[in-house]
Amino acid sequence: MKIFVHTTFNHRDVIRDAYGKILDVLKNAGVMVISNHDEEGKADLTRAEVERMSDKGENLIDKMDGIVIDASIPDSEVGYLLAYAISQKKPVLYLHERHSGAKSMLSYFEGKNVPESVVLKSYEIPELEGIITEFLQRTESGDQDVPTIKFTLRITPKIERFLTMKSKQSRTTKADYLREKVIKKFMENTNNIDKE
């Protein structure tokens, strides 16, 4: 999974600490992190590498699985980034530090038609790990909701009749019936592995 992290720093250490915490949580989860701002060299791609990609005409956001925006400090790029991510249906975690004074921006979104792909959260640093973990789980489960890989399966006429009967009983297609069974078995195996 690839996540783009956008933040802006100022004189407040809490924002710098939050950025470090965001990157640490993402990297510990096995996520490839790309950032617009990386003084400490924690991201997988540096700002210079990101700019090189941009110079080649590659759109970095299109290659991301999700975006984390820390908008605790006003930044003119946030609006563009948020609008583009929404237009591309990318999952977005829009954060602001609870005591940053940026609440007015967050309150602008509340009560509006905010797409389901956008999660709005205010935070204090100890809460960041839970917020980011929840966002990653939501982003990963979103990947599972839409099947995109085609698979050819050759079956016998007897199995075909059985599938026809089961699909009629469950009022689904044969493919959906099989997919449900495979997912159920997958989840059982995953739970067994987690217990070991």
Where along the chain do its domains lie? 2-145, 157-195
> For the chain, how many helices (H) and strands (E)?
7, 5
Considering 48-52, 87-91, 150-154, 185-189, the range whose residues carry the highest mean pLDDT is: 87-91
Those residues whose C-beta lies under 8 Å from the C-beta of residue 120, and which sit 6 or more positions away, are: 94, 106, 109, 110, 114
Considering only CA atoms, which of 45, 54, 58 is closest in space to residue 2? 45
pTM over 0.75: no
Higher pLDDT pick, 118 / 147? 118
Mean local confidence (pLDDT), 3-24: 79
Mention the CATH class of domain 2-145: alpha beta
Asked whether the beta carbons of 33 and 47 are under 8 A apart, the reply is no
How confident is the model over 35-92, as pLDDT tens digits? 877 554 555 665 676 677 777 777 778 888 899 998 888 778 888 888 888 888 899 9
Residue 68: what pLDDT? 94
Mean local confidence (pLDDT), 122-145: 82
Residue 109 has pLDDT above 80, yes or no: no
